A and B are shown apart, each in its own frame.
Chain A
């Protein structure tokens, strides 16, 4: 019943969010710890008139959802570290053809088969730079079951607005945790549908948007628009080009800038206690849950600590970190990897304050005391 509280795991909340947003196609492959997403989707989708198919591997899964997206359905897949590495080729294909899809990566300990059932945050850089060539991507990092629901809807909306794949970077803890979530009534949820072209097929140019817009409307197969969905570098109609530096430059810069220059519109973050802070904790995902406890302990000891929780990891909001580094003496970045987002924070802070990294590998969350001692060190 919308409006009341329900006790759900992160998986269930993600699936309910996706179905609320209109997702009607799921193609996946079982991999711990994201198998429950596929299982619940196989249960729910036939009941709402959607399609579930378990493909033979992850390579087929991501290409199948791109095909379904060009057939008019909102499509999604879910995987973990090893499967994410396999999907990079398909991600590049979705980027160059400007196909909206949603990919859920439930991060687990790596590298390779790694720590199968234990959490980590080790794929955050691979989400941005994993595929070959120049491209831009949107990546969201939820920290609770409620956010798994909200960000699932937000991910589908962003994918349709920017015609780009969107990655949801959960980790094993956030996915398995069981928390009460509140599902708002349908008229309070914003869902963005695909834009359809307004001109007839003989006048429509598929990859040339109107002045001032970044993407053109997306017709689907079978409507008579004679589309050319092409993975080779192509011009505005989808025809392949032989030698064409100006044509290729137009296309690459447009699909790069449509995300990178719209950071202000896309970025989401949450600030706590940063008004009078000397030390700021910049964090995301499950590390933010531990950092909250460390922040409260530090405040009790009299250290002025604040927390900036990044909800969109990519595109990285440089200006936000630059302004923060002007206000505080030092920044502390706890992460469940060997130090990845801390590099972006260092780069964006431009040396205006000290930046400390608190890496934690091995498949466990930080202990709040570890973050507290780092904060004490940073406050000196």
Chain B
């Protein structure tokens, strides 16, 4: 019999800094599930890949995600996770660089860096945790807040339209795109595995539950079980969504793998060709 007092799951014992657990997220927060997706992906990819992996994160609730992993981690400034990851990847191209950011962190203050990293098709894996609000500062409006929602800075209802990250990244030039929710754990884990193996710039948007702010303000559901049920009922796979009209898709979440282009050349390969060309002169 195993004692229950100080028990941790076997994945936590193997890959996480157990001296920092229990982690600081709220009860029922989706970020814990996202940590599990990442660790399950690496458990299947093998120890060699884990040893070559480093994590970079921004500021926000999602920025605390990789701090609990026993690996090289950089917790940078708000919106500036991608430039740090670019500098690191160029200095050591053999590393797997996984960047974990929030929706406000990557699309609002870090929007410029996101579109240029996608344009360069640099070999990073960006996991963007969307919870429709800025949760660490108390529930303010974010670029992904739905219209009409009431948050701390939109007490009369949100008047701004929201972003569609996948369309933005398609136009900017990213080469692997997927969106899942925390309900779709196995599918998201497979996407993460594929994105780590993919050489170019991959973006996985994971819609995650925030019972404290997004649940209470935007969805009127404060129990994480109700929000999970809402994710289950309101997510539509791409193959079905393509047959529906935009009115029917309002308020729904379209999930699946949108794009996979392995043939576009990645930035560090272009740099290597340049060095060879210049060195010969």
Contact = CB atoms under 8 A, between A and B. Distances in A.
- Is chain A's interface secondary structure helix, strand, loop, or mixed overall? mixed
Interface residues of B, number: 38
A89 B77 CA distance: 8
- Is chain B's interface secondary structure helix, strand, loop, or mixed overall? helix
Most chain A CB within a 10 A radius of its CB, from B54, B70, B72, B271: B72
Contact of A63 (B17, B70, B83): B83
Interface string A38-66: 00000000110101010111011101111
Contacts of A63: 76-77, 80, 83-84, 87
Contacts of B116: 55-56, 60
B216 interface: no
Interface residues of A, number: 42
B67 A221 contact: no
Contacts of B73: 226-229
A64 B54 contact: no
Nearest to A97: B74
B113 A51 contact: no
A68 B51 contact: no
B88 interface: yes
B250 interface: no
23 contacts: A51-B271, A53-B90, A56-B113, A60-B86, A63-B83, A64-B83, A64-B87, A66-B84, A67-B56, A67-B83, A67-B86, A71-B87, A75-B87, A89-B77, A93-B77, A221-B54, A221-B88, A221-B95, A229-B73, A229-B76, A230-B75, A231-B77, A239-B17
A214 interface: no
Nearest to A55: B83
Contacts of A22: none
Contact of B274 (A46, A59, A67): A46
B86 A226 contact: no
B225 interface: no
A73 interface: yes
Given A60-B80, A222-B54, A231-B77, A67 B70 contact: no
B194 to A, nearest CB: 23
